[in-house]
Amino acid sequence: MSPARQVLERLFRRAESACRRGADARVSLSMTHAADYTSLRSLGELEAFHAAVALAEREGAILVRREGRSGDGSRLLRLTVADPAALARHLELPLLGDQVAAAARELEPWIARFPVIAEALEAWGQGRKVRGVGAEAAADLAAAARAVAAREEDAGHERVLRRESARLLGDSKRLERLSAWLDLLVTGELAASGWPKEDVWAAIGLRREPQPMLLAGDGTVDLAGTTLPLVRPYLGLPVERVQAVATRAACVLTIENLATFHEAAVVAAGAPVLLIYTGGMPSPAWRAAYVRILRGMDAQPSVLHWGDIDEGGFRIAAVLAQAVKDAACVLRPWMMSPADLPPDAPGAREPTAASLARMCRWAERAGWNVVAEALRRRPVQLEQESLVPLLPTGSVCTRS
C-alpha cells in the first residue's frame, strides 16, 4: 500500500469514526508530523504522493491546505475530508453504514432464530469487529446460520462434517472454515468461547467421521426392534438406533475420554454400572439416545459423569446435566472435584484466574455448586487420563 493510500485510508477511518459518534465527519489530518509524508526523501516519492492527493482533491473527496511559501506551493500542511462518500468511492471502500445495511439484508432471515446475529450487526454498526472481522463477513455468518438451522431440524442424526458441508454449501471444506461463526451461533456469544472446533461441530451433530455410541455393561439393548446382548468389554452401536437398554445396573456413568472408557470397561466386569462413552462433546443425537436409555430403565438409576477437570470437562458436564434433567434424573460428578483427588495428583496444575472462573461457571450450570466451591478453595486442572479408573460402587450406586 502506497504512503498516500495509507494516509487517505486513515483519514477515511477517522471520518467514519466521527460519523458513528454523531460528530462532524469533515475531520482533518496534519501532514507536518505525518511520518508517511515527512519520511519521504526522493523527488519521485514526493511527486507520487502529491499526485495521489491531488487526484482525491479533484474528485471532491478532500480539501488540501498547502504551504504558499514553499516555492511551488506543493508542500502539504493539512488534509480535510470534504465528502466521506466521495472519499469512499475514490478509495473503492464501502461506507460503514452501507456495509452494515447490506449485512443486515443478508442476515435478516436468521435474526429471529439466532438473536446473537442482531448483536453482531449492532457491533458492526458501531465500528467494532466480531471474531476479528467486520460486516464484510455477513455472507459467512449467513452460511453458518443455514448450517446450524439445518442441523437443528435434523437433530436426531449425526452427520459427517465434510459430506454435510458439500450438501449444504457446495464446498466440502467450507464448514470447517466457518467454525468461528458456528461457535458464535452455538454459544450465543460474540466473544470466542474457547471451545475446540470439534466440540462446536459435535454440539450441532457433526463429526469428522461416523462415531458409534459405546456401551459397557450387562444386559441387552433395543435397536429399534432388534435386541442385542451387551458384550464385554464394550459394544459400539449407531446412535440413532439405540432405543433402550435393559440392565440391572444401578448406576450409569458417562466418560468423556476414549482411553479412560477403554480402561474402565475392562475393569467394570461384574460391577453394577453401565458405562457410556460421550465422544467428547455429546451431539444432539447422542443426547437423545442417552435420554431414551435413562427413561427406559426399570428403576431410576444413579447418574454420574466423569470428565476432565478443566473448562471443556465442565462444559460437557453442563450439556449432559440438561439431558439428564430431561430424563427426570439428576447428574452428579464422579472424580471431578478437587476433594476427590490426592494432594499430589500426577499431572495436576493450577489454572489461570480466567480459566478457573469459567470452570466454576460451567460447574454451576451443571448444578454442581459444591464442586465449584471446592475448585475455588483448591484451584486445579487435571486431565481424566491422569487418574487410574475407579468405578462407583455401594451407596454411590443406590442414591437417586
Stretch 284-308: mean pLDDT, rounded? 93
Give the end of a domain, one of 44, 75, 91. Answer: 91
Single pTM value for the model: 0.78
Q: State the CATH number of the domain containing residue 47.
A: 1.10.10
Mean pLDDT of 113-134: 93
User: Which residue among 177, 207, 237 closes a domain?
Assistant: 207
Compute the average pLDDT of residues 317-337: 95
Q: How many other C-beta atoms lie within 10 A of the C-beta of residue 240?
A: 16
Round to whole Å and give the CA distance between 125 and 120. 9
Q: Domain range for residue 232?
A: 213-397
Omega within 30 of 0 (cis) for the link into 233: yes
**Residue-level pLDDT at 9:** 87
Count the domains in the chain: 3
User: What is residue 399's predicted lDDT score, i.e. its pLDDT?
Assistant: 42
> Is the predicted pLDDT of residue 22 greater than 80, yes or no?
no
What is the reported pLDDT for 259? 93
pLDDT digits 0-9 by tens, 256-281: 999 999 999 998 877 889 999 998 89
Amino acid letter for position 388? V
Please tell me whether residues 322 and 298 are part of one structural domain.
yes
82 and 102 assigned to the same domain: no
CB neighbour class for 306 (10 Å; exposed up to 12, middle 13-18, buried from 19): buried
State the pLDDT confidence band at 94, using cuts at 50, 70 and 90.
confident
Say what percent of the chain tops pLDDT 90: 62
Please indicate, yes or no, whether residues 236 and 172 belong to a single structural domain of this protein. no
**pLDDT-wise least confident of 12-26, 106-120, 252-266:** 12-26
Can you give the pLDDT at residue 127? 82
Buried b (16+ CB within 10 A) or exposed e, 131-143: eeebbebbebbbb
Q: How confident is the model at residue 131 (pLDDT cuts 50, 70, 90)?
A: very high
Residue 17 has pLDDT above 90, yes or no: no
What are the backbone angles phi and psi of residue 302, rounded to the nearest 5°? -80, 125
Co-location of 52 and 151 in the same domain: no
Based on the domain organization, do 232 and 108 belong to the same domain?
no
Residues 3, 50 contacting (CB under 8 angstroms): no
The reply to whether 224 and 338 lie within a common domain is: yes
